Amino acid sequence: MQIYLDTAKVEEIREFAWLIDGVTTNPTLVAQAGRPFREVLREICALVRGPVSAEVISLDAEGMVREAQELARIADNIVIKIPLTPEGLKAVQRLKALGIKTNVTLVFSAPQALLAAKCGADYVSPFVGRIDDHGGDGMGVVAEILQIFRNYSFPTQVIVASVRHPGHVVAAATLGAPIVTMPYAVLQRLFHHPLTEQGIARFLKDWEKVPR
């Protein structure tokens, strides 16, 4: 399973650049980083060799394609995040013809993912946390999408997004989802277990008793 960081904060990416396979950003995350979008993207792409998703703001296909072409010039590993709308999927088709990779975002259902795959999206991002927040079953939606993609051998890859806790990561891995993107705080939590920390403390204490 590939691990992406869901952040636009360069310092968070730098800390885990040795581990992660890619990065996803969105307008909210870029606003939280508090720095100019293109400058941040350039720095992220220099740190990470894998895919770096950058989202368009336009709502019409023509505007999305224009923005995507401009963003794609920043680095070879830029993937364009496109919202799941009819205009978005028209843009996905055109960007595919231009050889620009797309990540269809704001996916909340299996039929939406099916449409994105049919239009040639390279990635789809189901938002499991937001689905759960609305009383749905985010991982159930991921399971449906994975099955549909398998049934038709769609090459589109699923990025499990809107991840809130390590349980989401485990559930995604259990389903065999190829990619999970997670916030810095969740990635940090994957490392920790109280028994690991207690175990280290105890070993160090016992080590003091070893004759030197």
- Using the minimum distance from each CB to ligand G3P, give the nearer residue, 53 or 72: 53
Provide, rounded to whole angstroms, the least separation between the CB of residue 167 and ligand G3P: 14
Helix (H, G, I), strand (E, B) or coil at 95: helix
Coil, helix or strand at residue 14: helix
Q: Does 27 bind ligand G3P (CB under 6 A)?
A: no
CA dist 193 and 66 (Å) reads 47
Taking the complex as a whole, the smallest distance from the CB of residue 164 to ligand G3P amounts, in Å, to: 7
User: CA 113, CA 144: separation in Å to the nearest integer?
Assistant: 10
Candidate list 6, 12, 67, 122; residue touching ligand G3P; CB under 6 A: 6
Contacts with ligand G3P, 160-189, as mask; x by CB under 6 A: -xx------------------x--------
Q: Which is nearer to ligand G3P, 26 or 102 (CB)?
A: 26
Q: Is residue 12 within the footprint of ligand G3P (CB under 6 A)?
A: no
From 130, 140, 175, 190, residue interacting with ligand G3P (rule: CB under 6 A): 130
73-97: b (≥16 Cβ within 10 Å) or e? ebeebbbbbbbbbebbbbbbebbee
Q: Are 82 and 91 in contact (CB under 8 A)?
A: yes
* Span from 12-20, 87-95, 115-123, 124-132 in contact with ligand G3P (CB under 6 A): 124-132
Least Å distance, CB 199 to ligand G3P, is 32
Q: Are 82 and 116 in contact (CB under 8 A)?
A: no
Amino acid in the structure at residue 45: C
